[in-house]
């Protein structure tokens, strides 16, 4: 097991009674449950130095586990006939909607069913400027985050769009459902973000290599009875997990975002708790995307015509 990364973690109360594979997939959503099932069967998950062999083992509050991350394997990336909601397409770019629970590009545990697999099937030409495993991908959304993405079909478009994101000229608007009642109707969260010093799979404000991060928000609706708030968000920077980290740092983790501190106990009503249990993704969507077309420099703006189901149900509370 030399030269392999080992992660140690303790089970919190909210995960009491869950299967070990379910627990791991909740803590590390970037990896699939099937990936953890394989790691468990291969002896890469230990409890007090004893290998866990069955994914069905139930965890208890206070249990301490070690997860050994094996070396990354080569991934074969194949086109797949996965439905794509295409908002726009020409020879240089496409704008698509990524649903929740869909990974953007292949990685260990997610070798198929990704946005990249779908792009390679649906489009005759997709830029491989960033490598085939990131074909067409200029920016990314987390697995659980739904929303609009601009795709580069040509290498020229890829480079030009990349520059716009680096220069922060791309308009990005999000909506999120956060726990608790956000008091101010308007605010800015200006907290640097980096790789968490406690868990390298997470980002945080107590971190290494901190970089500036600015999030602007407006309260859209408060649900006092249920202890939830819907906020409209504008990103001024594009740090990994920025919205999730920022709202967690202010005491308002996103609904269902257990990685960054959400607990079902934050919800005050059974109605809200049932909605939370029904959906296995956090309540965040990129609903507006604006940028200059890389070839003719004409400003283009796209808005979602339909939001994920979790937003509809909370709005109807």
Sheet of strand 193-196, all strands in order from the earlier edge strand to the far edge: 203-204, 193-196, 207-211
Closest CA to 188 of 210, 221, 218, 230: 218
Query: How sure is the predictor about 244, in pLDDT bands with cuts at 50, 70 and 90?
Result: very high
CA distances from 132 to 34, 115, 165, 172, 272 (A): 24, 12, 21, 26, 42
- Would you state the structure tokens that stand for residue 311, as one six-digit string? 């937003």
What's the confidence (pLDDT) of residue 238? 84
Round to whole Å and give the CA distance between 121 and 44.
34
**Beta strands, E only, the chain:** 5-10, 45-47, 50-51, 64-69, 85-89, 93-98, 146-152, 171-179, 186-190, 193-196, 203-204, 207-211, 214-223, 228-235, 284-292, 299-303
What digits encode the pLDDT tens for the residues 96-148?
999 999 999 877 667 788 999 999 999 989 998 878 888 899 998 999 999 99
What's the confidence (pLDDT) of residue 245? 94
* CB contact at 8 A, 83 and 98: no
Question: Mind telling me the catalytic residues?
Answer: 142
Residue 64 CB-density burial (10 A; 0-12 exposed, 13-18 middle, 19+ buried): exposed
Query: How sure is the predictor about 1, in pLDDT bands with cuts at 50, 70 and 90?
Result: very low
* 100 SS3 class: coil
What digits encode the pLDDT tens for the residues 77-100?
889 999 999 999 999 999 999 999
- Does position 4 have pLDDT exceeding 70, yes or no? no
CA distances from 241 to 143, 194, 232, 247 (A): 11, 10, 16, 10
Closest CA to 50 of 34, 70, 64: 64
């Amino acid at each position: 097991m030399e030269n392999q990364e080992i992660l140690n973690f303790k089970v919190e109360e909210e995960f009491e009674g869950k299967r070990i594979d379910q627990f791991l997939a909740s803590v590390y959503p970037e990896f699939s449950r099937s990936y953890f099932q394989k790691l468990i069967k291969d002896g890469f998950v230990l409890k007090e130095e004893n290998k866990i062999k069955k994914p069905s083992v139930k965890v208890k509050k206070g249990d301490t586990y070690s997860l050994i991350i094996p070396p990354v394997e080569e991934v074969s990336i194949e086109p797949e006939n996965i439905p794509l909601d295409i908002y726009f397409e020409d020879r240089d770019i496409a704008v698509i909607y990524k649903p929740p629970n869909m990974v953007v590009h292949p990685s260990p545990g997610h070798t198929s069913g990704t946005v990249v697999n779908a792009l390679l099937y649906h489009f005759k030409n997709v830029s491989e400027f960033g490598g085939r495993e990131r074909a067409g991908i200029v920016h990314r959304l987390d697995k659980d985050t739904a929303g609009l993405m601009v795709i580069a079909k040509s290498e020229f478009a890829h480079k030009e769009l990349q520059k716009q994101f680096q220069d922060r000229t791309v308009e990005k608007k999000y909506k999120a459902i956060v726990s608790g009642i956000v008091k101010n109707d308007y605010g800015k969260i200006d907290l640097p973000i980096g790789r968490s010093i406690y868990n390298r799979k997470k980002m945080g404000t107590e971190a290494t290599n901190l970089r500036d991060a600015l999030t602007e928000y407006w309260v859209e609706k408060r649900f006092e009875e249920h202890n939830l708030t819907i906020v409209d968000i504008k990103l001024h920077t594009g740090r990994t997990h920025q919205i999730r980290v920022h709202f967690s740092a202010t005491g308002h983790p996103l609904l269902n975002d257990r990685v960054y501190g959400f607990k079902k106990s934050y919800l005050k009503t059974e109605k809200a708790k049932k909605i939370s249990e029904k959906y296995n993704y956090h309540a965040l969507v990129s609903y507006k995307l604006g940028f200059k077309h890389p070839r003719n420099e004409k400003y283009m703006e796209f808005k979602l015509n339909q939001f994920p189901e979790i937003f509809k149900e909370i709005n109807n509370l």
